[in-house]
A and B are shown apart, each in its own frame.
Chain A
Amino acid sequence: MEIVIIFLQFFVSIGYFYLAYKLLMAYFMGVVFPLNSASRLFLAVGLIGFGLSLFSFSKVGIELLIGFSAKDKNFLSGIGLYLLFIFFSFCFSVIIFRLTLLVNKVTTRENEKAELAKNSFLFSGIQSISFLFFIYLLADPVIRLALSLID
């Protein structure tokens, strides 16, 4: 079963990062083309943030998968549950990404697209730190919420 889990995680991670990259690139391409240094920094940190979220959700998802398949001998339902968790993780990351943009837009009263286009490292740095901050701060409570919904 461990080998199946390794392959599952491997392919799910590739798919997850592919989608995350496409989504972030679509956003940044809409702001500035070709990407400048500030946008590249934010893109890299964005991918790290998506990865951290995947890491947190995946850990719990795998524990659920193992527990589920050991209890009910129903491996496919366990995989379904794991994939549901990965989907939650992706949605959570997208929401936090959008929320970070919104929070900084409201508080700094600056147009984030214009700042990124101007290659503002200050704006990009604050966005990046805020994004990682919210991912770290909210990942555990959101996982608890997802677990309570599954119960």
Chain B
Amino acid sequence: MKEIINIVLLLILGIAYLVTFTKIISGFLNKIATQRNNAIITLLISTIAAAGIVVIDISKVIADAFVFFYGNSKIGIAIGFTFMLFIASWIFSLLLFHGSFFLVSFITKEDEKVELNKNNIELALVHGTILIIIAFLIGPSLSQFAASFIPYPKLPF
């Protein structure tokens, strides 16, 4: 039973995560770009991929936490913890996206918004790659941090 609830919960939250994140980023990119060119599409897809990497890393912790809390008859905490971690990864992915703009502007010394409007695919690819690499690098540490909130019993050795 707990496995089915876990799958359903992950599925619903996964869909919500992906849909809301895509809408927010798409809206932001629509604001900064006059038209949806290839550079904007590249950046949008890379950003969604990076957000996916972050939540996939944390999802292992989420699934373990759910099984642990459910096993201890704390169903409310199990669902709440799952929700909280999804929201935390959503906020982190958004911060990562906005933060990466500063990093890319610092590295390339160019006004990124102007370059994206000029369909500078090279810059979009650099930005996308940086986002994905940072997501891969930070994901495991983030899941370790999330796992530290689960009160696993301490082993005697």
Interface residues of chain A, those whose CB is within 8 Å of chain B, are 103, 107, 121-122, 125-126, 129-130, 132-134, 136-138, 140-142, 144-145, 148
Contacts and interface: CB of A to CB of B under 8 A. Distances in A.
The 5 closest A-B pairs by CB, nearest first: A145-B3, A125-B45, A133-B52, A136-B56, A141-B7
Interface in B3-31: 3-4, 6-7, 10-11, 14-15, 18-19, 22-23
Interface string B52-80: 10011001100100010000000000000
B44 interface: yes
A107 B36 contact: no
Contacts of A133: 14, 18, 52, 55-56
27 contacts: A103-B15, A122-B36, A122-B41, A125-B41, A125-B45, A126-B44, A126-B45, A129-B48, A129-B52, A130-B48, A133-B18, A133-B52, A133-B56, A134-B14, A136-B52, A137-B55, A137-B59, A138-B10, A138-B11, A138-B14, A140-B59, A140-B60, A141-B10, A141-B63, A142-B7, A144-B3, A148-B3
A140 B15 CA distance: 17
A144 to B, nearest CB: 5
Contacts of B23: 107
* Residue from A103, A107, A137, A140 having most chain B Cβ neighbours under 10 A: A137
B38 interface: yes
Given A122-B44, A144-B67, 17 more contacts: A103-B19, A107-B19, A107-B22, A121-B41, A122-B36, A122-B41, A130-B48, A133-B55, A134-B11, A137-B10, A138-B7, A140-B59, A141-B3, A142-B7, A145-B3, A145-B4, A148-B3
Contacts of B6: 141, 144
Interface of B: 3-4, 6-7, 10-11, 14-15, 18-19, 22-23, 36, 38, 41, 44-45, 48-49, 52, 55-56, 59-60, 63, 67
B126 to A, nearest CB: 17
Contacts of B4: 145
A138 B48 CA distance: 17
A126 B4 CA distance: 27
A126 B56 contact: no
B67 to A, nearest CB: 8
Given A125-B45, A140-B63, A141-B63, A130 B7 contact: no
